[in-house]
Amino acid sequence: MGPLSDAADAAPVLLAVPNVSEGRDDDAIDAIAAAFTGGDGVRLLDVHRDPDHNRSVVTLAGAPGALAPALAAGAREAIARIDLRANDGVHPHVGALDVAPVVHLTPDDRGAACAEALLAADLLARLGLPVLLYGALAQGRTRAQLRRGGPAALAARLADGELATDFGPPRPHPTAGTTLVAARPPLVAFNVVLRPPVTLEQARAIAAAIREGGDAELPGLRAIGLQLERAGEIQLSMNVERPDLTPLRDVVAAIAARAPIARAELVALAPEQAFAGFPADLPIPGFDPARHLIERALRAGS
């Protein structure tokens, strides 16, 4: 299998990975996913639903010019279907359409992704959603910085002038909150469930140790410890933002040195290089390389 650039030659150039704050109402999730893919030139690659996080992650593929209106169409349905005030998921969030990144698969496509993300931000603003940029479009500002304290804290920071929206209204939408928009390379959203008797406090300590800047020296790793009330489990929820430098085998090894792992979970799609040397004895229920590795998923539709 060739690199991502090979896949991009035979498939749509860009991805979009909108995250919506609904993971339990299948009718709502289906309607939102259908809205994202209702226009021309956009292909649905995956929908990942998580009731504990109360969040769904949709992966779209399309050429420049197609993804921005698709994101706006899905956002319109999300506004109609989701009342953020009722969201009790454990995942940090600030919006019904919480994040809407446009993903470039090669460095050559970075400019196209940035342009598409800015166009999407403008279209979302026209729906009445305030938009904050993060990542390369905002001098490296992170999602975690913007989500700190949740929707109420973000609303207060906007009200007192600590933050200002980049597009759209100056205050959060009353039911749909705020949307975060970026252009970025692929990352890996990766979770592991820890075996009992690991506690939430221990999971949070492990997250602090393994995330970038911690003892494990894993570049680009973001990690938090969570308690999944519905499943009755303790989870490490992670984003590997530099899978070229931090393959999942290294993440698993760092966690396993500190606590026993029951199983892993991939959220949405990942580049194939992230799974190089992945331990064969660690189960990932539902993982299908043909559907969940970006290169293979794109080739399947070419």
Q: Which domains does the chain have, with CATH numbers?
A: 4-184 (3.30.990.10), 188-300 (3.30.70.670)
User: pLDDT averaged over the chain?
Assistant: 95
When pLDDT is averaged across residues 168-178 and rounded to a whole number, the result is 98
Average pLDDT for 140-168: 97
d(CA 63, CA 43): 10
User: Residue 256: what pLDDT?
Assistant: 98
pLDDT of 277 > 60? The answer is: yes
Name the residue with higher pLDDT: 84 or 2: 84
pLDDT over 50 at 164, yes or no: yes
Report, as residue numbers or ranges, the catalytic residues: 91
Number of other CB atoms surrounding residue 163 within 10 Å: 19
The model's pLDDT over 41-57, given as tens digits with 9 standing for 90+, comes to 999 999 999 999 999 99
List pLDDT tens digits, range 134-151: 999 999 999 999 999 999
Whole-angstrom Cα distance, residue 224 to residue 228?
Answer: 12
Q: How many CB atoms lie within 10 A of CB 255?
A: 23
Q: What's the average model confidence in pLDDT over 220-236? A: 96
pLDDT for 71-84, tens place per residue? 999 999 999 999 99
Q: What is the largest CA-CA distance in the chain?
A: 51
Question: Quick one: pLDDT band at residue 12, thresholds 50, 70, 90?
Answer: very low
State the pTM of this model: 0.94
The Cα 44–Cα 51 span in angstroms is 21
Q: Phi, psi at residue 144, to the nearest 5°?
A: -60, -40
In this prediction, residue 13 carries a pLDDT of 75
Position 103 pLDDT exceeds 80: yes
Give the pLDDT score at 8: 39
Instruction: Note whether 61 and 301 are within 8 A (CB).
Output: yes
Query: Is residue 264 within 8 Å of 6, Cβ to Cβ?
Result: no
Q: Please answer whether residues 140 and 183 qualify as being in contact, where contact means their C-beta atoms are separated by less than 8 angstroms.
A: no
* 45-63: b (≥16 Cβ within 10 Å) or e: bbbbbbebbbbbbbbbbbe
Mean pLDDT of 4-12: 44
Residue 52 vs residue 1, higher pLDDT: 52
- 255-276 pLDDT per residue, tens: 999 999 999 999 999 999 999 9
Distances (CA, A) of 20 to 17, 50, 138, 219: 10, 11, 22, 27
- Residue 6: the pLDDT is 46
Closest C-alpha among 189, 211, 161 to residue 99: 189
Residue 39 confidence class, pLDDT cut points 50, 70, 90: confident
Range with the lowest mean pLDDT among 9-18, 85-94, 269-278, 284-293? 9-18
Angle between helices 200-210 and 248-256 (to 10 degrees): 130
d(CA 113, CA 119): 10
Per cent of the chain over pLDDT 90 is: 94
> Does 302 have pLDDT greater than 60?
yes
Nearest to 255 by CA among 190, 194, 189, 187: 194
Tell me what pLDDT residue 45 has: 97
